[in-house]
Chain A
Amino acid sequence: MTRAGWIRTAIVLGAIAALELVTQAGLVSRHTIIPPTAMAAALWGLIASGEIVPDITKTVSNVAAAFVLSVAGGFVLGLLIHAAPRLRRALDPLLATYYAVPFFVFYPLLIVIFGMSDLPIIVIGFLFGVVAMIIATLNGLDRVPRVALKVARLSRMDPVSIALIIKFPAATPYLFTGIKLAVAYSFIGVIASEFILSGAGLGFAISYAYNNFDTPKMYALMLFILVSVTAVNMVLHTIEQRMLRRRGLAR
């Protein structure tokens, strides 16, 4: 590990230890925040008893569905928009201001359209993630080397194989940025919708625990989300670094 990596680990561990000390010493009320060890114990209890397994399954599968849809949809839409420069110019201001609009206010309308199921939540996660992927795809396609496209033309490749054999690999580093954002936005979209509007899933379970003063359960679930989102991020970061190194682009 690098020097920065060691310092980072030390800081995170130090912060956890400090929180543990402060809460154990009773400097902060147990109703406000509980010691990290108590959070971990509560989380272990919840998982061992199987109490939150259905919520976890629901949230994870919704996030996964939203993520796959936004990456696949964003890539295809990005390809199409890139092929039509005039449409792209017209779309540009809309894409740039897209994330300023809070989508989950459309949840009730989505329920009317899609029915009372997981679908509205997946759609919100998709709406959050897809535009990041479109923007990343456009960025990546802008940077495909001209000479590679010329070679493709000389070899008389058809559009589909150009997309798959030339454009996709050349744009991969930028696509990866989009994929990372799509993961983050799928998580945020799904959990925020569950938190405010739904009756199931991890987001709902946290809000329910909060409303019932079930502080240990609330913190246990927060810990779970924190750890799993961080873990997913670290895996993606590792894959990205490996890919960049192979291309000699590593920072």
Chain B
Amino acid sequence: MTERAPAWKRYGDSLALLAGLVLLWWLLSRWAGEEALTGPAETLARAQELLQSRRFHGHVTESLTALGYALLLAALGGLGLGTWLGVRRLAGQVAEPILVALYALPKITLYPVILLIFGLGLPAKVAFGAIHGIIPVTIFTLNAVRTIRPVYLKVARTLRLTPWQAFRTVWLPAALPEIVSGQRVGFALTLLGVLIGEMFASQRGVGFVLINAIGLNDVPTIMAAAFLLAVFAATVSAILLKIDRALHRRTIRA
């Protein structure tokens, strides 16, 4: 890898691009009219108003709870399932096309089934978020474990490492970068799943705030909620991306 550019240079262009996008947003809102598309300043004002209202806090807490449980299920479940399928070669070969087919399926069509099984409320949202997230996490983990270089495993065998030692010192470090990439994709999809769940059948949560605002054509609230969601999602995603890149760089250098 070549010498990395200084920080101001790396982020300066991104910031300029973001500024350009905000300008475009402002121009669009001027062109479409304030009642069709709220401009940046008004959206920020409404977002601040939302953040200060107690009712919105309740919705955020509800969504974060559902997201937390769903992420836990998707991350750990996907990790376990992916590792198992990666170690058992035949099981992995059998399962991978099924997983890929499930990944491409618009899972929203399955939402009524989830509702019929879990009923309205938190469990349905959690289940829906988890089925969105668990598949990419499993696919990434499966590939991460399967593509560990055989020579590493031979070394572990030669040194007669116990299974736990081998896992801690060989398997985990070798597979970690790809696993983190999978968790990043998993996070985005779990969030999407929870939100769709709240939009379709819920009385609480940020998804409900959104669909309610859509029903009332309350454009400032739609824009403000979408803006807050985008900021939240992008922040978490950026943090995970940073870890992801750092791990990948370390592997390349090693």
Majority-rule SS of A interface residues: helix
Q: Is the CB of B109 within 8 A of A100?
A: no
Asked, given contacts A109-B37, A229-B106, whether A90 binds B94 with beta carbons under 8 Å apart, the answer is: no
Contacts of A86 in B (CB 8 A): 13
Cβ-defined partner of A100 (8 Å) among B95, B191, B222: B191
Q: Which stretch of A50-58, A143-151, A181-189 is in the interface?
A: A181-189
Contacts of A89 in B (CB 8 A): 5, 10, 13-14
Q: Is the CB of B234 within 8 A of A7?
A: no
Q: Give the shortest distance, in Å, between B236 (CB) and chain A (any CB).
A: 7
Give the distance in Å from the alpha carbon of A93 to the alpha carbon of B222 in the complex.
Answer: 25
Q: Is the CB of A233 within 8 A of B100?
A: yes
Asked, given contacts A105-B226, A108-B217, A195-B108, whether A97 binds B113 with beta carbons under 8 Å apart, the answer is: no
User: Would you call B22 an interface residue if the criterion is a C-beta within 8 Å of the partner chain's C-beta atoms?
Assistant: no
User: Would you call A170 an interface residue if the criterion is a C-beta within 8 Å of the partner chain's C-beta atoms?
Assistant: no
User: Would you call B139 an interface residue if the criterion is a C-beta within 8 Å of the partner chain's C-beta atoms?
Assistant: no
Q: Give the shortest distance, in Å, between A159 (CB) and chain B (any CB).
A: 24
Q: Is the CB of A184 within 8 A of B234?
A: no
Contacts of B219 in A (CB 8 A): 108-109
Q: Is the CB of B214 within 8 A of A197?
A: yes
Contacts of B110 in A (CB 8 A): 222
Q: Number of B residues whose C-beta is below 8 Å from A?
A: 59
User: Would you call A218 an interface residue if the criterion is a C-beta within 8 Å of the partner chain's C-beta atoms?
Assistant: yes
Contacts of A218 in B (CB 8 A): 112
Asked, given contacts A93-B238, A192-B196, whether A183 binds B104 with beta carbons under 8 Å apart, the answer is: yes
Q: Is the CB of B188 within 8 A of A8?
A: no
User: Would you call B233 an interface residue if the criterion is a C-beta within 8 Å of the partner chain's C-beta atoms?
Assistant: yes
Give the distance in Å from the alpha carbon of A229 to the alpha carbon of B223 in the complex.
Answer: 33
Contacts of A113 in B (CB 8 A): 32, 36-37
Asked, given contacts A12-B98, A184-B104, A203-B108, whether A90 binds B229 with beta carbons under 8 Å apart, the answer is: no
User: Would you call B200 an interface residue if the criterion is a C-beta within 8 Å of the partner chain's C-beta atoms?
Assistant: yes
Q: Is the CB of B104 within 8 A of A90?
A: no
Contacts of B98 in A (CB 8 A): 8, 11-12
Q: Is the CB of B188 within 8 A of A99?
A: yes
Which residue of chain B has the shortest Cβ distance to A202 in the bound complex? B109
Contacts of B217 in A (CB 8 A): 108
Asked, given contacts A90-B13, A113-B32, whether A233 binds B101 with beta carbons under 8 Å apart, the answer is: yes
Contacts of B195 in A (CB 8 A): 102
Asked, given contacts A4-B94, A195-B108, A222-B109, whether A93 binds B229 with beta carbons under 8 Å apart, the answer is: no
Q: Would you give 22 A-B contacts (Cβ < 8 Å), ordered by A?
A: A7-B90, A8-B95, A33-B116, A89-B14, A90-B13, A91-B14, A92-B14, A96-B241, A97-B238, A100-B233, A101-B226, A102-B233, A107-B214, A108-B214, A112-B36, A188-B108, A192-B106, A192-B196, A196-B108, A203-B109, A225-B109, A237-B100
State the 4 A-B residue pairs at the shortest beta-carbon distance, nearest first: A100-B233, A90-B13, A184-B104, A4-B93
